[in-house]
Amino acid sequence: MTEPALRETRDAPLANTFGIDARARRLIDVGDVDALPAALADAGRDALLLGSGSNLLIVAPDVDAAVHVSDARIEMIEASGDAVRVRAAAGAAWHDFVMHALAQGWFGLENLALIPGTVGAAPIQNIGAYGVEVMDRIEAVQVHDRATGETRWWPHDACGFSYRDSVFKTDPQRYAVMRVDFRLSRTPHIHLGYAGIGEELQSMRIAEPTPRDVADAVIALRRRKLPDPAVIGNAGSFFKNPVVDMATADALLAVHPGMPVFRAGDASQRKLSAAWLIDQAGWKGHRDGDAGVSPGHALVLVNHGHASGAQLLALARRIAASVHQRFGIDIEPEPRLIGARW
Ligand code: FAD
Ligand code: EPU
């Protein structure tokens, strides 16, 4: 028997890794991604398109309608020389896709292992970790435009990718990602540039790592550094790392010589560490009721139990105000806020 294309549940809980209690009056699950445009039209202009809820802070907990894609099909659609073009539907779980690609000998995604979420959400904020961003591997994105009703493939260069951003993220109610095409390689190209992976491989006593070893090192690092949402609610990094001009970075470095500074996409800019700024401002491990800052990583806001989205947002605002006061730097949230504006 085939799965029905659309399945509707009334008064359904909205899954989110912060563990915030939220519900949708109607939740429509899309088993065949080609039925997504019809589901969105039926659910209405304001319906929330939800992946696995790992990059959301739900401030208004009652949503009228939400749509979720569960179509997880993955296929290799072209191979030429070393390159393979692999197509994944929006509902595929990101980490499962990474591990499936590795098992097939399609390399290039190993540094992005264990990032929560779905394939459909990956291009939205151009997910990245350990020196690789997903835009480096994306060939094209199949997008349904909820404003015009048009569905078409957007080539990489039309997507406006940058650090934790894309055209899609700037207008979240408009663009629905149906499928993503990735260009991967049958020859491994190992990326160990990011501090930490090399040390991890050394401690694993691996001198000539395979892509699988890199994935294992990234998984071990992530498990050590980041709190597990199954144990304590969180959405990963709550703030983006601020990107500033060189003069601003130099002025801060003159006062705080130990401050970490990283290269940004644009050679004239520098990326600062939001974790370091928040840590220095004294917030690591801080708790306001059930809303808190992880004691293990200053960039991760956590829900110790029953914090509401509004309480977490209030804490985030206090943190940002104190970082601004201390360093003159504005930090902005990375997750999407549902029912509130920053
Ligand atoms: P959701 O949270 O459900 O949605 C996020 C946004 O995408 C919303 O605006 C939603 O409307 C939109 N969206 C979802 N699906 C679609 C679709 N098909 N079409 C259009 N819009 C859609 N991110 C990183 O970049 N790097 C990391 O290292 C990283 N680590 C994390 C670690 C932890 C512990 C957690 C909890 C999160 C982490 N994240 C990281 C953030 C998160 O994993 C990513 O942003 C992920 O892509 C979100 O996927 P999702 O399916 O859960 O999206
Ligand atoms: N640091 C502190 N205090 C802390 C934690 C870190 O001072 O409590 C300092 C460390 O000294 C380090 C620096 O902050 O020099 C950077 O820390 P880390 O390597 O943990 O990286 P990050 O900048 O906090 C970013 C991404 C992560 C991604 C990792 C690995 C953003 C907003 N976050 O974190 O992505 O997994 O690098 O590449 O870019 C996410 O987006 O949700 C996410 C988890």
241 lines ligand 1 (CB under 6 A): no
Residue to mutate, 48, 54, 338, ligand 1, most ligand atoms under 8 Å from C-beta: 54
pLDDT one-digit tens code per residue, 93-142: 999 999 999 999 999 999 999 999 999 999 999 999 999 999 999 999 99
pLDDT one-digit tens code per residue, 206-219: 999 999 999 999 99
- Give the pLDDT confidence score for residue 3 in this predicted structure: 62
Question: Coil, strand or helix: which one is 250?
Answer: helix
- Give the pLDDT confidence score for residue 288 in this predicted structure: 97
pLDDT one-digit tens code per residue, 236-272: 999 999 999 999 999 999 999 999 999 998 889 999 9
**What distance in Å separates the CA atoms of residue 302 and residue 238, rounded to the nearest whole number?**
9
| Domains detected in the chain | 6-69 (3.30.43.10), 74-185 (3.30.465.10), 233-338 (3.90.78.10)
- In angstroms, how far is the first alpha carbon of the chain from the final one? 46
325 class by beta-carbon count within 10 Å (0-12 exposed, 13-18 middle, 19+ buried): exposed
Q: Is 0.85 surpassed by the pTM of this model?
A: yes
Residue to mutate, 57, 124, 164, 223, ligand 1, most ligand atoms under 8 Å from C-beta: 124
Residues of the chain scoring pLDDT < 50: none
User: How is residue 241 annotated by DSSP?
Assistant: P
Residue 251, number of CB atoms within 10 A of its CB: 13
- Structure tokens given for 80: 């030429």
